[in-house]
Amino acid sequence: MRLTRLLTVSLGAVFVGCALLVAGAYLFQRSIMYIPPRGETPPPEGVEVVRLITSDGERLVAWHRPPQGDGPVFLYFGGNAEGLQHTPRWQEVAARHAGLFAVAYRGYSGSTGTPTEAGLHEDARTAYRWLAARYPAERIVIQGFSLGTGVAVRLAAERKARALILEAPFTAAVDVAGTSAPFLPVKPLMRDPFLSRDWIGRVSEPVLIVHGEQDATIRFDDGRRLYAMANQPKAFVAMRDSDHNSLVDDGLYGHIWQFLERLPQAPRPGATGSAAAG
């Protein structure tokens, strides 16, 4: 009888512990998924600050480096802890006289609001709308890193662009979470699944995927699987010695320039694109 009671109590404690773990994962998942830098920082030389207002009333901070000549303009979406900051990425783009437009997601780097998947997609549409009013779609290159690949893939499926570039992408954020916490029922719990695997097949632009083979945050195989789902034309670059955060330092932009140079020439300035706001 005593042994039965002890087993009952032990099983009850395990059940309660599991329930608390699941409840905690559900309630606090967004604080784990989004790690926003809060303060607004001054831009580097040659970069202007742009203020955007989303359709749901959030005020976003963005940085814009105009291109010199008729080069591409990158519409960049960063990772989950990445705000607006002067990084080697800006230096690489400036060295080639290309343009760059980066938006701070809601709740990031001086932007108002709280990050959610639906909110980030709306931020992306707002940023695209601003950029497409100034440049033809044939000059806009949609680019995302890590979490930002989930934003970039869907935007490229919904809007026209010259190309889509994905750095260390996932098939879905819910897939990454499931691998990291296989003991939790992640799929029904995940509020912001970022299902890139459901959207990549709708992208008609040329796609470049770059992934580090030493990536311990988003598995290299995830990038390979997403690449297999993408339409042609497409290219995959495996960076042998790179981890999740070292792609730019390890020569990412050399691969990007080569990829873009193989594409048909974009129209000269003054051409009108068919990119519509919406």
Is 55 an active-site residue? no
* pLDDT tens by residue, 87-96: 899 999 999 9
* 104 neighbors 111 (Cβ within 8 angstroms): yes
pLDDT over threshold 50, residue 5: yes
Catalytic residue among 109, 111, 146, 242: 146
Q: Chain-centre distance of CA 230, in angstroms?
A: 16
Query: Are the C-beta atoms of 141 and 159 separated by less than 8 Å?
Result: no
- Within-domain flag for 63: yes
CATH number of the domain at 245, please.
3.40.50.1820
3-state SS track over 98-147: CEEEEECCCCCCCCCCCCCHHHHHHHHHHHHHHHHCCCCHHHEEEEEECH
Domain contains 198? yes
Q: Residue 273 domain-assigned? A: no
Candidates 123, 192, 215, 222; catalytic one: 215
Give residue 203's domain range.
34-261
Q: Indicate if the pLDDT at residue 162 is higher than 90.
A: yes
Number of domains in the chain: 1
Q: Which tops the pLDDT comparison, 14 or 80?
A: 80
Residue 158 lies in a domain: yes
Alpha helices in the chain (DSSP H): 2-33, 88-95, 117-132, 147-158, 173-180, 186-189, 196-199, 220-229, 252-261
Q: What b/e string do you get for 236-245 counting C-beta neighbours within 10 Å, with b at 16 or more?
A: bbebeebebb
3-state helix, strand, coil in the chain (%, to 5): 40, 15, 45
Catalytic residue among 86, 121, 243, 244: 244
Distance CA 5, CA 147 (A): 48
- Arithmetic mean of pLDDT, 82-110: 95
Q: Does a structural domain hold residue 29?
A: no
Query: For the segment 236-259, what is each residue's pLDDT rounded down to a tens digit?
Result: 999 999 999 999 999 999 999 999
- What pTM does this model have? 0.85
Does residue 270 have a pLDDT over 70? Answer: no
Q: What is the pLDDT of residues 30-41, one digit of tens each?
A: 678 999 998 899
Residue-wise pLDDT for 187-222, tens only, equals: 667 899 999 999 999 999 999 999 999 999 999 999
Q: What is the mean pLDDT of residues 215-235?
A: 97
Q: 276 vs 134, which has greater pLDDT?
A: 134
- Mean predicted confidence (pLDDT) in 169-189: 73
Both tokens assigned to 198:
């459901």
In a domain, 82, yes or no: yes
What's the rounded mean pLDDT across residues 73-81? 97
Q: What value does the mean pLDDT take over residues 50-68?
A: 98
Tokens 């559900």 belong to which residue? 26
Active site includes 86?
Answer: no
Residue 186 in contact with residue 174, Cβ under 8 Å? Answer: yes
Planar angle of CA 266, 73, 204, nearest 5 degrees: 60
80 in any annotated domain: yes
Annotated active-site residue 146? The verdict is: yes
Q: How many C-beta atoms surround the C-beta of residue 273 within 10 A? A: 17
Q: What percent of the chain has pLDDT over 90?
A: 75
In this structure, is residue 60 part of a structural domain?
yes
